Amino acid sequence: MAEKVIHIAESITVSELAETLNIPVTTLIGELFKNGIVATINQRIDFETAQIIVEELGMDVEIQKKEAEAAPARKVHELTDKAVERPPIVAVMGHVDHGKTSLLDAILKTKTVDDEAGGITQHISAYQTVRNNRMITLLDTPGHEAFAALRQHGAALTDVVVIVVAADDGVKPQTVEAIRFARSANAKIVVAINKVDKEAANVQLVKTQLATEYDLNPEEWGGDTVMVEVSAKTGLNLDKLLDMVLLVADIEELKADIDVPAEGLVIESHMEHGRGSVVGLLVEQGELKPGHFMVAGTAYGKVRTLLDFQGKAMKSAGPSTPVTVTGFKELPQFGDEFKIVKTEKEARLATEKAGIERSKAAASTNVTGADMLKMISQKHESQELKVIVKADVQGSLTSVIDSLRLVDTGGEVTLRIIGSGVGNISENDIRLAADESTIIYGFNVELPPAVKRLAARDKVQVRLYKVIYELLDDARHSMELLLAPEVVETEIGKLTIKGVFRTLKDTVIAGGEVTSGKVMPGLLVRVKHGNEQIAEVEVTHVQREQVEAKEVFEGDMCGLSLKTGKKLLIEEGDKLEFFTRELVTRTLS
């Protein structure tokens, strides 16, 4: 048993751990460095890393974990007796190309999909429509796998999730993901089986998949999941789909308070020339009005303009209403909660407090035990691809960065994001990427002419994309180029030496029988005496019946000229193994 037992929390700074262990902080930093981790005295390491480093130091100390305090859950607003009915918030989810956005277009009679690069929704877009004099708020969430974070927030915002499944394609990975998110958010599920007008449509197969594999049983089969067969192309059953959404929402008795300070979530944010920060919000409680002071995470401001989803000015926005506001002094992060405060001073203090809390949370994940074990196990230094990421809006930036971090090579090549931000690529970005190994990725942003000239002068690679999976493919390919090539050897043939005619300083001329495969000039050769390999040489000439030959096959006799590089004794009975050796570019698994 260890002589000393110490208790630490889930994470601890390097200086605190050194003090607890009663060792110089430089000793601890040095041990971390030896294991591949460059740490500062204020950097936090997790419990598992602390355990590993104590073992590496050979200290007779046992580390035990303190009981962690429960993290505060998101505050849930307690409704008053004055709460009123509010519109349902409906997220539309599903696999890419299954027609989510087209379905919304048909409902809203817009052409949103034409504006999306590659026909894929790249942001959360919020809309409102009216059915039977009742308002419905609709969120179109991205379908591509890289936008998992956006879809997860979309589900968390919503009361009802409409999962769109193409009748001609069935259940796909992002369909399953949408089901999981909806259930984790305790949202009601309505299934829209789209594209039923297509010849290859198989509605019964879709229903069977959902019922048997994912426990979503159609009402007509005795289950409790509403499924509506629709066609975005022809408009079939779109009204019925909205009716079913309202019916499911009515069961939940959705209400909200109006006479309270407004609060809700940030669903989008970006910078616009002449307007500053432009932020999409979804109001959940209260009424938001121009002139209100607002706080969202570490950002605050005063509502300068308040617009609805069509860009029309509003005097106020109540619960379940998506709005666009200007007036934030900096961009809030996607998914931040926003609230209204009375004064600018109160707003500033709230953001300062949020900044401290966010720094602590970020710092606690600086170095993990998994990182430590991975670095200890690596026997060679990895190559590194450095990138800077710029995107048009905060939500997309988050998704691109999260997706890039998932591009893994098992540690042989790492991708390091050295900078990121919202907005067009700037001269500062070019200066940051001054060495040629850094790539700047721009997602839905522009490269101004002056910046382009600077990039060309400094030989900085700038790559612009409008579709996220094309950006990820480029990053993956760039990492593959850094992978050490694989050496591939291919056996071509074998020969048994029947006689040695001449042995020179760096050449041997011999003859023998090809016992398998074939022999030809240019091949590499392993020379074996018994079971021992005595040399590796090269075939320079091959003769058959004293005539130069390009190939000699199994069963034939031939003469060989072997380039040895040094004097080599080859004897009758030795075996020759002929092979090729090439470097093959590797790909990421």
What does the pLDDT look like over 270-316, one tens digit per residue?
878 888 899 999 999 999 999 999 999 889 999 999 999 888 999 99
Residue scoring higher pLDDT (404 or 29): 404
Q: Which of 426, 481, 479, 492 is nearest to 454 (CA)?
A: 426
* Lowest model confidence (mean pLDDT) among 2-11, 126-135, 353-362: 353-362
The string of DSSP codes covering 105-168 is HHHHT--HHHHSGGG---S-EEEEEEETTEEEEEEE---SGGGHHHHHHHHHT-SEEEEEEETT
* Lowest model confidence (mean pLDDT) among 138-142, 200-204, 585-589: 585-589
* Lowest model confidence (mean pLDDT) among 187-201, 304-318, 400-414, 446-460: 400-414
Report residue 163's pLDDT band, with 50, 70 and 90 as the boundaries: very high
What does the pLDDT look like over 47-60, one tens digit per residue?
777 888 888 787 87
Task: Give the chain's domains with CATH numbers.
Answer: 4-65 (no CATH), 87-253 (3.40.50.300), 263-362 (2.40.30.10), 379-480 (3.40.50.10050), 486-584 (2.40.30.10)
pLDDT surpasses 50 at 188: yes
Winning range, highest mean pLDDT, from 56-60, 98-102, 222-226? 222-226
Residues 278 and 299: their CA atoms lie apart, in Å, by 12
pLDDT surpasses 70 at 119: no
Q: Which two tokens stand for residue 521?
A: 């000039």
pTM tops 0.85, yes or no = no
Q: What is the mean pLDDT of residues 107-135?
A: 66
Please check whether residue 358 is in contact with residue 298, taking contact to mean a CB–CB distance below 8 angstroms: yes
Amino acid at 347: A
First CA to last CA across the chain, in angstroms?
44
Burial class (CB in 10 A: 0-12, 13-18, 19+), 251: exposed
Q: Which of 151, 174, 248, 171 is nearest to 216 (CA)?
A: 171
What pLDDT score does 341 carry? 95
Report residue 320's pLDDT band, with 50, 70 and 90 as the boundaries: very high
Report residue 1's pLDDT band, with 50, 70 and 90 as the boundaries: very low
Q: What is the mean pLDDT of residues 495-511?
A: 92
What pLDDT score does 145 carry? 41
The full 3-state SS of 274-333, as one line of letters, equals CCEEEEEEEEEECEECCCCEEEECCEEEEEEEEECCCCCECCCECCCEEEEEEEECCCCC
What does the pLDDT look like over 568-580, one tens digit per residue?
889 999 999 999 9
What pLDDT score does 45 carry? 77
* Lowest model confidence (mean pLDDT) among 145-149, 211-215, 236-240, 402-406: 145-149
Buried b (16+ CB within 10 A) or exposed e, 162-201: bbbbbbbbbbbebbebbbebbeebebbbbbbbbbbeeeeb
Residue scoring higher pLDDT (363 or 528): 528
Which residues, other chains included, contact 156 with Cβ-Cβ below 8 Å and sequence gap of 6+?
185
* Lowest model confidence (mean pLDDT) among 17-26, 275-284, 310-319, 470-479: 17-26
Helix (H) / strand (E) element for 423: namely: none
What pLDDT score does 365 carry? 44
Q: Which two tokens stand for residue 324?
A: 């666009």
pLDDT surpasses 60 at 162: yes
Residue scoring higher pLDDT (239 or 26): 239
Residues 22 and 11: their CA atoms lie apart, in Å, by 18
Q: Which two tokens stand for residue 467?
A: 């579709």
Q: What is the mean pLDDT of residues 410-434?
A: 82
What pLDDT score does 30 carry? 74
Q: What is the mean pLDDT of residues 424-435?
A: 82
